[in-house]
């Protein structure tokens, strides 16, 4: 009886360890991909680009500094924000689609 309980416990422990190893590998892969995205974003960041923030605000970069960036929003106001607040650079195709949506 004890042998079957011990065998079941070992199988269950192995199952939990394999599940945790798979979860850890996937989490590390996602973090690596996110780190690469933001490294590329900060390397490409330049004045004149349309950018977006995590909360959905769009703006155009006016100036880019070491830790901050000046962003002009639609109203004409220029915001000084942390470079790390910028979540994406909007590509030309998305800008064109946004302009078409605003025109209608």
User: For 66-97, how does the pLDDT look when each residue is reduced to its tens digit (9 = 90+)?
Assistant: 899 999 999 999 999 998 889 999 986 555 55
Task: Give yes or no for a contact between 46 and 31, defined as CB atoms under 8 angstroms apart.
Answer: no
Q: What token pair was written down for 58?
A: 């769009």
Distance of CA 27 to the CA centre of its chain: 14
Please check the confidence at residue 44 and state whether its pLDDT lies above 90: no
The whole-number pLDDT of residue 92 equals 65
What predicted TM-score, i.e. pTM, was given to this entire model?
0.60
pLDDT tens-digit series, residues 18-39: 999 999 988 888 888 888 988 8
Q: How far is CA 87 from CA 4, 7, 9, 23, 53, in A?
A: 54, 50, 46, 25, 5
CA 79, 82, 85, 90 torsion-angle sign: positive
């Amino acid at each position: 009886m004890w042998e079957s309980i011990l065998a079941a416990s070992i199988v269950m422990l192995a199952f939990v360890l394999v599940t945790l190893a798979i979860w850890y590998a996937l989490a590390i892969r996602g973090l690596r991909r996110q780190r690469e995205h933001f490294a590329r974003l900060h390397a490409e960041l330049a004045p004149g680009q349309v950018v977006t923030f995590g909360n959905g605000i769009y703006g155009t970069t006016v100036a880019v500094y070491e830790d901050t960036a000046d962003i002009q929003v639609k109203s004409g106001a220029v915001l000084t924000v942390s470079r790390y607040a910028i979540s994406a650079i909007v590509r030309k195709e998305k800008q064109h689609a946004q302009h078409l949506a605003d025109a209608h």
